[in-house]
Chain A
Amino acid sequence: MNEDISRLMDGELDDAALGRVVEATRTSPHADSAPQALATWVTYHAIGDSLRGARAVLPGFSARFARALASEPTVLAPAPRRAGFAQPGTWAWGIAATLAAVTVVGWTAFAMLDTPPATVAKVREAVSVRAAQVKPPAKVPADYLLAHHEYSPATAIQSVGTYLRAVVTQESEPRP
């Protein structure tokens, strides 16, 4: 499953496998925990972001955020009514919805990011496997490219232009 998730992130997953992954992100082995596949998906992205140098969220962020949010005083004073201002009922619901969203996101991030060390190790391993997969494999033999173009219908209308694909690979050919 982890490998399939990694392929999904690379856009390499076929339709049948995609269905399985999507299903796995919905179903959880334990009622009280987030689905493992979803956790893997989030963790892979978090790791991918950090590898790309994007500012990663520090471990324990969600817990600290939740504590900080809980200690914030709640302002109960009614806002002064102004012309054109929305009815209190409307904006109150808006705030409630925002808070609910923050809580849900916070909980999800908590569940995803503050994972036990064993999972983190597993994910690291999976990521290194993925890195190996993404690494360009051996240069495609020019023989193969030329042989393919002899039969590709595209060559018939694009003429010698398609050979550009084949000669591009030769750039790094070592000088004798």
Chain B
Amino acid sequence: MMRWSWSPRSRRRLCVAAVIGASLAAPPLAFAQEAAAWLGRAAQAARTLNYTGTMVYHHSGDVETSRLIHLYEGGQEYEKLTSLDGPAREVIRSKDEVRCYFPDAKIVRIDPRTFRNAFPALTVEQQQTLSRYYEFKRMKGERVAGLTAEVVRFEPKDGMRYGHMFWSEAASGLLLKARLLTEKGDVVEQFAFTDINLNAKIDREMVKPSWSAAPPDWQIKHGAATEVVRHDTGWSASKLPPGFMKIMEGYRTLRDKRYPVAHLVFSDGLVAVSVFIEPLSTTPVETGSSQQGGLNVYSTKTSEYLVTVLGEAPPATVRQIAQSVGKR
């Protein structure tokens, strides 16, 4: 009979073996769900929490500091971002528009807000893409802005994407710091709160623009007149990195453009790459690559069209996509 009774030691061994076995046998979907759940929680926190804080943005050797106020009221988000150094700038994101104020240049830009939170709605397919092309790792916790943060890493499995590191506030899931990394581990850009108040009492007054109406000598620039009109544009990119799927296709009417611009968006579940195609105008345009923080841009032209591709992906990836754009 003794043969069938387990000693505590062997029971422990069995448990360890079972855990190891389970983790090895776990389908990739479990990791995908974990990554997606993490992203969903961060997105939910970013949308529904009320907070004020100071954010430092590092990019291409530059550092910029901004004040950020976020209010969630009646199911709506209101945000105010004020630059503290460099040229004065203010961004106000409210229910249905985004206003950018440039007091030095006496310009205010008004764009419609169409953004819908993407992460809570990741499809199973997108979740699997995430785990196929990124390794999701939980790292040792750290402190950011005086708070305890969970650290996670999305490490790309190929050279076609950037790596991502995120620090989220342990209790709420709110993102405190985000870092974009090259394959070699160099930092491309970083957003980080240096201080944040998660229990701030915020009212609508605090998220109003500093200028209630644009002064008479300011120039008002209206951005896209309409939301994007979803439509089959007939365009496609034949050399997309694996895992990138089309999430949007349509036409946009943009300021200063005589014709609607075709806009296609491809995403691997974590980042997006936008493709813009417009008829070539008579004014000469410069083509080639450029960088805007973590965004790489590549534009190229054919005899009739100007193709501009931009996204949070390495220069070679953006360029490869741009050069593969053609009529279906």
Contact = CB atoms under 8 A, between A and B. Distances in A.
Interface of A: 10-15, 132-138, 140-171, 173-176
26 contacts: A10-B315, A12-B319, A14-B319, A15-B159, A135-B288, A140-B295, A144-B274, A144-B308, A146-B223, A148-B310, A151-B248, A153-B272, A154-B272, A155-B118, A157-B43, A158-B191, A159-B68, A160-B68, A160-B70, A160-B81, A161-B66, A165-B292, A167-B91, A168-B64, A169-B292, A170-B102
Main secondary structure of the interface of A (DSSP, over half): helix
Contact of B267 (A14, A153, A167, A174): A153
A171 B46 contact: no
A176 B102 CA distance: 12
Contact of B272 (A137, A151, A176): A151
Q: How large is the interface on B (under 10, 10 to 19, 20 to 34, 35 or more residues)?
A: 35 or more
Given A11-B316, A143-B255, 13 more contacts: A11-B315, A12-B319, A14-B320, A135-B286, A137-B290, A145-B295, A151-B265, A152-B267, A156-B42, A159-B47, A159-B68, A168-B293, A170-B109
Contact of B79 (A15, A142, A160, A166): A160
B131 to A, nearest CB: 15
Contacts of A155: 115, 118
Interface of B: 39, 42-43, 46-47, 55, 57, 59, 64, 66, 68, 70, 79, 81, 83, 86-87, 89, 91, 93, 98, 100, 102, 104-107, 109, 111, 113-115, 117-119, 159, 166, 175, 178, 191, 219, 223-224, 228, 247-248, 252, 254-257, 263, 265, 267, 269-272, 274, 276, 285-290, 292-295, 297, 299, 308, 310-312, 314-317, 319-320
B267 A165 contact: no
A157 to B, nearest CB: 4
Contacts of A143: 111, 223-224, 254-257
Given A135-B288, A147-B263, A152 B83 contact: no
Given A159-B46, A164-B64, A13 B310 contact: no
The 7 A-B residue pairs with the shortest CB-CB distance, nearest first, are A137-B286, A148-B274, A157-B42, A152-B272, A156-B43, A160-B79, A143-B254
Contacts of A171: 86-87
Contact of A157 (B46, B86, B113, B276): B46
Contacts of A164: 57, 64, 66, 81, 191, 293
Contacts of A11: 314-316
A157 B295 CA distance: 16
Nearest to B312: A154
A158 B91 contact: no
Contacts of B114: 150
Nearest to B180: A154
A153 B118 contact: yes
A153 B70 CA distance: 19
A151 B312 CA distance: 12
B292 A140 contact: yes
Contacts of A158: 46, 175, 178, 191
B319 to A, nearest CB: 6
Given A173-B105, A176-B219, A153 B119 contact: yes
A137 B224 CA distance: 23
Contacts of A10: 289, 315
A119 B254 CA distance: 47
Contacts of A165: 59, 292-295
Contact of A14 (B166, B224, B286, B316): B316
Contact of A168 (B175, B257, B292): B292
Given A142-B109, A143-B224, A160-B81, A149 B292 contact: no
A167 B100 contact: yes
